[in-house]
């Protein structure tokens, strides 16, 4: 063995190449779910079924025709409407009230909306939270949001957004998954917030289903304003008391 060969033999071995981070099965499943939902939306749009499912008159006739399967179909459609953002959920809630009355209509709407919100939250958590956490500019914010007081404020925000029909239900669900808000707190705030709005939409479902679109829009805005007033009043009163103590 020559001098050069001995020198090479004494050199330390090069460090191993860094292994790429394994892609978790959870992320693969979530990405597959997104692709599946996009394909389902495309299929519903191109076959014309989407228009029928989001028209309160057509949906009401259909769920009444299929009898005992009607509630299950209604819950599934409501779940899809939450997970797939372009599908409106208002007509589905009104069809539920018109077909099953205010109480059972509300029950089916709440089950479907809660299931859709939890799916959207988990998709946001599994696909986006890690990316947000790795971003250096968000670390301090995520740390503050992880504290108990911040968790309570996040819960209050989710609860308040559920009371207002013109705040995107879907966007709030996906966005909440990007925050440290716990799944249990999110589910609880969502359930508490959607019950009043779902009951009102189901209660007035029959009357609103026969009104034109402008009356429906005005009614939904009015319901949202009415449900938002107590929260707005509480926040204003809290800030006023704080200001008075500091004065």
pLDDT value of residue 187: 93
Cα–Cα distance for residue pair 33/118, rounded to 1 Å: 14
> Would you state the pLDDT for residue 218?
58
In the numeric block, which tokens belong to residue 128?
């986006």
pLDDT, residue 75, reads 92
CA dihedral 82, 79, 163, 166 (to 10 degrees): 30
* Helix and strand counts by DSSP (H, E) for the chain: 13, 0
Give the C-alpha separation, 246 to 240, whole Å: 10
- At residue 15, the pLDDT reads 47
| In the chain, domain spans | 25-40+49-246
The whole-angstrom separation of Cα 26 and Cα 36 is 15
Tell me, rounded to whole angstroms, the distance of Cα 23 from its chain centroid. 24
How far apart are alpha carbons 225 and 231 in whole angstroms?
10
Q: Would you state the structure tokens that stand for residue 78, as one six-digit string?
A: 């409501």
Q: What is the CA radius of gyration of the chain?
A: 25
What pLDDT is stored for residue 216 in this prediction?
53
**pLDDT tens for the chain, residues 1 to 247:** 555 555 545 545 444 544 444 556 666 777 777 788 777 777 777 777 777 777 777 888 888 888 889 899 899 989 988 888 777 777 888 888 888 888 898 999 999 999 999 999 998 888 877 766 666 566 666 677 667 777 788 888 888 888 776 677 888 898 888 888 889 999 999 998 888 878 877 777 655 555 555 555 555 556 656 556 666 666 676 666 777 676 5
108 in Cβ contact with 71 (< 8 Å) = yes
What is the pLDDT at residue 21? 44
């Amino acid at each position: 063995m020559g001098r050069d060969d001995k020198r090479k033999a004494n050199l330390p071995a090069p460090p191993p190449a860094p292994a790429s981070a394994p892609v978790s099965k959870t992320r693969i499943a979530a990405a597959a779910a997104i692709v599946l939902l996009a394909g389902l939306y495309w299929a519903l749009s191109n076959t014309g079924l989407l228009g029928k499912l989001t028209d309160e008159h057509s949906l009401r006739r259909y769920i009444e025709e299929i009898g005992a399967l009607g509630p299950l179909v209604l819950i599934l459609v409501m779940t899809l409407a939450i997970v797939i953002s372009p599908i409106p959920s208002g007509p589905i809630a009104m069809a539920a009230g018109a077909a099953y009355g205010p109480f059972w209509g509300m029950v089916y709407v709440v089950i479907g909306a809660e299931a859709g919100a939890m799916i959207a939250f988990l998709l946001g958590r599994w696909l986006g939270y890690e990316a947000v956490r790795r971003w250096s500019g968000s670390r301090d914010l995520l740390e503050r949001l992880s504290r108990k007081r911040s968790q309570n404020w996040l819960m209050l925000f989710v609860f308040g957004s559920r009371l207002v029909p013109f705040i995107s239900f879907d966007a709030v669900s996906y966005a909440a998954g990007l925050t440290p808000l716990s799944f249990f707190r999110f589910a609880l705030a969502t359930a508490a917030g959607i019950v009043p709005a779902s009951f009102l939409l189901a209660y007035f479902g029959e009357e609103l289903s026969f009104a034109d679109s402008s009356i429906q829009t005005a009614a939904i805005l009015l319901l949202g304003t009415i449900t938002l007033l107590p929260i707005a009043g509480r926040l204003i009163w809290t800030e006023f008391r704080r200001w008075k103590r500091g004065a």
